[in-house]
Structure 1
């Protein structure tokens, strides 16, 4: 896994250099002025729902209001944003978890996790006639499973299969198809008995006549998806700016919950998707939750799942690379300013459950 990651990194460095020359600051390459502080370079993915917190914080002007001078750098994927982070081209990456944890283990770039972007958002699908059978993981032995090995929930499902004595590499024939549509089509044609997709494929699965039988969040509540990562160097030299960034995304969390109509409109415009699709992805029954908490314990659990799946060779050093202090400082400052806000109170409960 490390070898493959380093090979990918070498390919992306060249692409990244060209991308950064074309990328500016702010939305569409414009810098948003701020009252104080050094520039904080942040990877920007305006069409990705997984980085909704960072996008809303920018669109609504929360970065500026919190006094952080953010330079948004347009990148293409979590892979090249991770390379940019390790190379010191950006200070904050709001996407990725598996590759982030692998980079922490690899030790290159001093990568650290400082917050969360999304959690959960995975669905198990099958045909109507198989729905009752495959709702129970105990019945998966001997089944053919269409999945995407890059999907976070894939590792979660594999872990819980192992918990009941089913080896996903031996007792289940898993096929890595890599994207929702291919998985949906495979199950629909009867080539696979069961499939794992992400929440943005829910409507398509239904259109193909399939059933959404299990929310993977019901198998493990609040399992982590994309994390907000930075570097130890940025923590040491731009700690105040990172705290201000986290204050802004905490406010974005509140905005998404309190203003669904405006949030849907923002992402409909940014992604050019239809309103019903955006509503399903952001607020549907199977949607990810866009929570800024680092969820240290959940990340440690997930690291163990990666180890079990041989996607990680060791979990040594992972705990030390999850910095919850910056987030807690930001949350305390927000709670001081908005003491009666119920959404912020909920974040404190989440912190106490998963980070303290």
Structure 2
């Protein structure tokens, strides 16, 4: 009898251990994903809507933030696990100040509008036309870095040749332009619809300053990525599949953005299919490196870092490799591999 109870006790303890392990595994697959409303979130919206995260074994909770800095502060403090649409300059700025961030993928490249009132639009055609202008720009946003880097390359001094009004977010930039406080504003994809609705003119795009520049990167805590890489690989597999859907079924992407961002038909179509916005899950290490050098050239950041410590391309490579294994004849994944080899 004693031996029977002993065996039952061992079985019970083992069962409790397995249950605890199962609970821990379930816990690891839950991710709080932060985003800012704008063009940089559609792949995650698609993955959520089409149950791609669920398919890959990841439970995602979406958390919206008003600005990139708010979202990155939340990531830094552990309130969220991933940021998807907080730019490139923002994460790099946090990294330069000691944040344990890891860039593991991408969402948006290019696509940030340069805006002005219609009566001033004809005065802004080239980078040289910014000389003598009052420019509103959102501090630590990617478009701000791209524009300042272009000024530098054109031989203009941002401190002397341009009057810069630094604001917290692109929405404040739009208001400054509308109120006539700035001749021109360096915007972001998040204000594109409001700019068009309010009659503000789009006079250029960030792509003009830095073609195909990286913007919304997928950012996570470096320690979390090291401790549980498979969860982040699974997240990227879902995002890659969402990119395939957007490429092959753009109307579905329009519908998803319409529902997730509460847009009307016309705005959803313009926003989702805007040709200056490119949505790729690729981390684009080369583009991120160039962005870092631009930030240093305009004294945006000080010191130096080894970017290889903060840009993890292995997770994306593994995610893509697995999808190619599942779909050996799929042209989309072959093209994604070519892009990866070119950009990383």
Give the shorter-chain TM-score range.
0.7 to 0.9
Q: CA deviation at 1:148?
A: 2.3
In structure 2, C-alpha distance between the alignment counterparts of 1:177 and 1:354, rounded to whole Å: 32
Name the residue aligned to 1:52: 42
SS, match of residue 82 in structure 2? coil
Aligned residues: 319
Name the residue aligned to 2:253: 263
Name the residue aligned to 1:335: 324
* Aligned residues of 2:39 and 2:190 also touching (Cα < 8 A): no
SS, match of residue 187 in structure 2? strand
Q: Does 1:283 align with 2:273?
A: yes
Name the residue aligned to 1:310: 299
In structure 2, C-alpha distance between the alignment counterparts of 1:188 and 1:92, rounded to whole Å: 34
Alignment equivalent of 1:325, drawn from 308, 311, 314: 314
Q: Does 1:144 align with 2:134?
A: yes
User: What are the superposed Cα offsets for residues 304-328 of structure 1, whole Å, 9 maximum, x if unpaired?
Assistant: 2222343322231333210101101
* Aligned residues of 2:107 and 2:216 also touching (Cα < 8 A): yes
* Aligned residues of 1:268 and 1:274 also touching (Cα < 8 A): yes
| CA root-mean-square deviation | 2.9
User: What are the superposed Cα offsets for residues 58-113 of structure 1, whole Å, 9 maximum, x if unpaired?
Assistant: 221112222x23242635354454344434454433232333212322334x3211
* Aligned residues of 1:101 and 1:318 also touching (Cα < 8 A): no
User: What are the superposed Cα offsets for residues 188-218 of structure 1, whole Å, 9 maximum, x if unpaired?
Assistant: 5654333222245445545555542322212
Q: Does 1:74 align with 2:63?
A: yes
Q: Does 1:226 align with 2:213?
A: no
TM-score by length of 2: 0.81
Q: Does 1:105 align with 2:100?
A: no
In structure 2, C-alpha distance between the alignment counterparts of 1:37 and 1:333, rounded to whole Å: 23
Change in CA separation of 1:324 and 1:137 when aligned onto 2, cut-off 3 Å: same
In structure 2, C-alpha distance between the alignment counterparts of 1:320 and 1:231, rounded to whole Å: 12
Change in CA separation of 1:174 and 1:44 when aligned onto 2, cut-off 3 Å: closer
SS, match of residue 83 in structure 2? coil
Name the residue aligned to 1:346: 335
Please identify the structure whose Cα radius of gyration is greater: 2
In structure 1, C-alpha distance between the alignment counterparts of 2:250 and 2:186, rounded to whole Å: 27
Change in CA separation of 1:209 and 1:161 when aligned onto 2, cut-off 3 Å: same
Change in CA separation of 1:235 and 1:199 when aligned onto 2, cut-off 3 Å: closer
In structure 1, C-alpha distance between the alignment counterparts of 2:199 and 2:42, rounded to whole Å: 30
In structure 2, C-alpha distance between the alignment counterparts of 1:45 and 1:94, rounded to whole Å: 6
Change in CA separation of 1:134 and 1:47 when aligned onto 2, cut-off 3 Å: closer
Q: CA deviation at 1:248?
A: 0.6
Q: CA deviation at 1:161?
A: 0.9
Q: Which moved more, 1:232-241 or 1:198-207?
A: 198-207
Change in CA separation of 1:182 and 1:232 when aligned onto 2, cut-off 3 Å: closer
In structure 2, C-alpha distance between the alignment counterparts of 1:208 and 1:75, rounded to whole Å: 24
SS, match of residue 254 in structure 1? helix
Structure 1 spans left out of the alignment, 5+ residues: 1-32
Q: CA deviation at 1:45?
A: 4.1
